[in-house]
Amino acid sequence: MGAAQERNRVVVYRVYDEIWNRGNLYAVDELLAADFKDHTLPPNTPTGRDGYRQLITNLRAALPDLRVEVESILAEDDRVAVRLNAFGTQHGTFLNHPPTHKPIQFSSLTFFTLRDGHITDRFGISDVPAILQQIATAEQNNR
């Protein structure tokens, strides 16, 4: 792996370690380019850094013990692909569902584009149906 690919891999890994796992939102401005665009945010969410911060804040509010584990990370040229698993306990409202106080697990596949050591674009696929199924099951069990 070349130096640029290794640098890009480290930048993306830091997103999950520092921002998602530690909740360090200051790192958003350090790691994401000023013209960053997230192409897979929920409707009516800004596509830039503010929207990404909003996504993280909302998910960490619903799952305050959120832990993201990077399963694999591949870098080639200016692109990085990540496969991950995430775990947390739903202690807050998530997608309009009240807290279940039950564990949730989901997977995600995300693709990043970088320029000069900063992330410019994010395209992601998360297993939202699995999350909703786990919440529905927990809601039924809580009745």
* pLDDT for 1: 67
Per-residue pLDDT for the chain (143 aa), expressed as one digit of tens each? 688 899 999 999 999 999 999 999 999 999 999 999 999 988 888 889 999 999 999 999 999 999 999 999 999 999 999 999 999 999 999 888 899 999 999 999 999 999 999 999 999 998 777 887 878 888 787 77
- With beta carbons less than 8 A apart as the criterion, state whether 28 and 50 touch: no
The pLDDT of residue 140 is 80
Place of tokens 């994401």: 32
Contacts of 52 (CB under 8 A, 6+ apart): 28, 32, 36, 38, 41, 122
Domains of the chain are 3-141 (3.10.450.50)
Q: Using H for helix, E for strand and C for coil, what is the string for the chain?
A: CCHHHHHHHHHHHHHHHHHHHCCCCHHHHHHEEEEEEECCCCCCCCCCHHHHHHHHHHHHHHCCCCEEEEEEEEEECCEEEEEEEEEEECCCCECCECCCCCEEEEEEEEEEEEECCEEEEEEEEECHHHHHHHHHHHHHHCC
